[in-house]
Amino acid sequence: MQAQILNRYLLVFWCVIFWGGAHKALAQKTAFIENKGQWVEDFDYKLPVGYGGVFLKSSSVTVNLVRPVSDKSKQSGHAHQPMYSGSESYAYRMTFLGANTEIKANAGLERSEYLNFILGNDPERWKGKVHLFEQVRYKSLYPNIDVLYYFSTDQNLKYDMILKPGAEPDRIKLYYEGQQQLKLVYGNLMVQTSLEDVMESAPYAY
């Protein structure tokens, strides 16, 4: 595994994260789910992706890839439905170095539906009317710099760095940890893991 730091020297840029075929198919029509305490882990929003997910926090994004392992010795009774004996998982994290860790998320484009969670035996974790959103914004991640997470038209995760007057682009530093390797492929960033590669498109300023 490697940990690496990348500098971004653009005034305003957006980036798209492309999933592999299986995860992308399972990520269609998804949304950011707020964490009201139904999950004990320390994050603000979860984006389900396949059998895993993406977890947003004020200054970091954690990607958890999960792949079920089929058991060929067992039959489900349906020709095209394999039995699963377990799963393989892999996680890596992208952190904004030197960013404000005390900021709160501002979610937008709320959906009309909601979720109810009854997890375990602790009533404190039973949460109703958990809302879903199509955007999550962290204001003042750096002075005069916001980050906005949302979806591209083909349902890939996308994020914008929004720079206001007086912003210093040199402050933006991304620290990757947990991946096997980082590679630049025609300007795009490839995050290599043992399960699959995740591609981040080259930043585009506008």
| pLDDT tens column, 140-196 | 999 999 999 998 877 788 899 999 989 998 999 999 999 999 999 998 899 999 998
The pLDDT assigned to 85 comes to 58
The pLDDT assigned to 87 comes to 83
Largest Cα–Cα distance of the chain, in whole Å?
A: 63
Ranges of residues in the chain whose predicted pLDDT is under 50: 7-12, 21-28
Q: How far is the C-alpha of 130 from the C-alpha of 135, rounded, in Å?
A: 15
CB neighbour burial string for 86-100, b if at least 16 within 10 angstroms, e if fewer? eeeebbbbbbbeebe
Q: How far is the C-alpha of 9 from the C-alpha of 49, rounded, in Å?
A: 30
The pLDDT assigned to 38 comes to 94
Q: How far is the C-alpha of 165 from the C-alpha of 167, rounded, in Å?
A: 6
Q: How far is the C-alpha of 45 from the C-alpha of 66, rounded, in Å?
A: 18
The pLDDT assigned to 119 comes to 85
The region that residue 129 occupies, defined by phi over 0 for left and psi between -120 and 50 for alpha, beta otherwise, is left
